[in-house]
Structures are given as C-alpha cells and as structure tokens.
A and B are shown apart, each in its own frame.
Chain A
Amino acid sequence: EAQVTQNPRYLITVTGKKLTVTCSQNMNHEYMSWYRQDPGLGLRQIYYSMNVEVTDKGDVPEGYKVSRKEKRNFPLILESPSPNQTSLYFCASSLDRGFGYTFGSGTRLTVV
C-alpha cells in the first residue's frame, strides 16, 4: 500500500532531551516535507526537501533539523525540545512539484 509512515504516533518527552521523529515513504516521491498543526493556526511548514541532500526552510524552521540522506526517509530532529514545540506533526511527500502532498497519520508530541 502506498503510504507515508511516521513514528512514533504519540510521544511525551522532557525539555532538552533530543528526539527524532522518523518518516518514510514507499512511493519513490521526490519531495518530502514536515508540517506542524496547532489549534487556530492551521498547518505550518517546517522544512521541505526537493531531493536527496537538498532541503530548505519552511515558515517555522527554528528549533528543528532535518536530513535527507535517502530518497525514502526524511527524519525530523529536535535537538533540545521546548514546551512550545508541543504540537501535532505531519510528514508528507509528493511525486513532483506539480502535485499535492500525501500526508502521514501524524505524530502528537508533548514536551513537558
């Protein structure tokens, strides 16, 4: 089944403890992206990648890192999480720049 898989689905962590949210797609898509969703703010793009080793900042990149070493994987790294990064995170992928993104099921992160 064609899909975008994120792990974990739920995560509670403490301030300052480094964490990684994994994302993998099995559709051979060129583009991948991370979004965060907060009540009243909609979906805001964190980072995106146009291909292996090519990434760029979205609208809210502060406090996040990404890497694209392989086409299928696009992990999101929080080096020192803070409570304001508590949010619902979505990974997404797209075949080409002309197509919409296919989204994963989300990761709900709580930082205490």
Chain B
Amino acid sequence: GQQLNQSPQSMFIQEGEDVSMNCTSSSIFNTWLWYKQDPGEGPVLLIALYKAGELTSNGRLTAQFGITRKDSFLNISASIPSDVGIYFCAGRNYGGSQGNLIFGKGTKLSVKP
C-alpha cells in the first residue's frame, strides 16, 4: 500500500527548544492530519489541514499543508516535558477513497527537562 515518509524517526531535545518534523508523499494528498500518541493510548488529533499552502496553529503547534500537496510539516515551539510522545502524520490521497487514511511511521519525541 501507499506510504508516507515521515522524518525524523526520533528526536532528543532539551526543554525549551523548538521541534520540526515533516512528512512527504509521492502522490498528491487532499488532506493532511497530525496526531500525537501517548504511551498506552490511541492517537489524538492535533491539527487538520485541508488546503494547499494552509498554515494552522494550535497553541504551540503549527502545521502547514505543502504547496505541492505532497508534503506537510509540524513545528512545536518551546517544548515542555508533556510534549513527549509519538507524532504521526496522516493523509488522504487525492484519488483514493475518503475513508482511507494513511499514516506515516511516526516521530518519537523525547524531551529532557
């Protein structure tokens, strides 16, 4: 099946630092979503993007829908210990079924106090 390339795989940062991660696809997507998963829980939706070029913020999180429709990035500013977790990008292929949401392999974020 189709895959999203998410990078980096893992990050170890100091509290207070900014974080950036991204996702790319070989095909055009019409929706990009960013999720966070805490240990022992299901993923929780952070930000949803529906339009090429769209830039959306949710508190310290900012995400953008790439202008080519083939990529997206997520930034976290001034990281804090509770930002620890796995972050996933997800997208819907432009030509695919609306129910078919594809996930990247995740970026594991560790924050040192």
Taking beta carbons and an 8 Å cutoff, which residues of A are in contact with B? Answer: 4, 31, 33, 35, 40-45, 48-50, 56, 58-60, 90, 92, 94, 97-106
Contacts and interface: CB of A to CB of B under 8 A. Distances in A.
B99 A40 contact: no
Interface of B: 1-2, 6, 31, 33, 35, 40-45, 48, 50, 88, 90, 92, 97-106
Given A90-B43, A105-B42, A44 B103 contact: yes
29 contacts: A33-B101, A41-B105, A42-B6, A43-B43, A45-B1, A45-B100, A48-B100, A49-B99, A50-B97, A56-B97, A56-B99, A58-B1, A59-B2, A90-B42, A90-B43, A94-B99, A97-B92, A97-B99, A98-B31, A100-B33, A100-B45, A100-B48, A101-B101, A102-B45, A103-B42, A103-B43, A105-B40, A105-B42, A106-B42
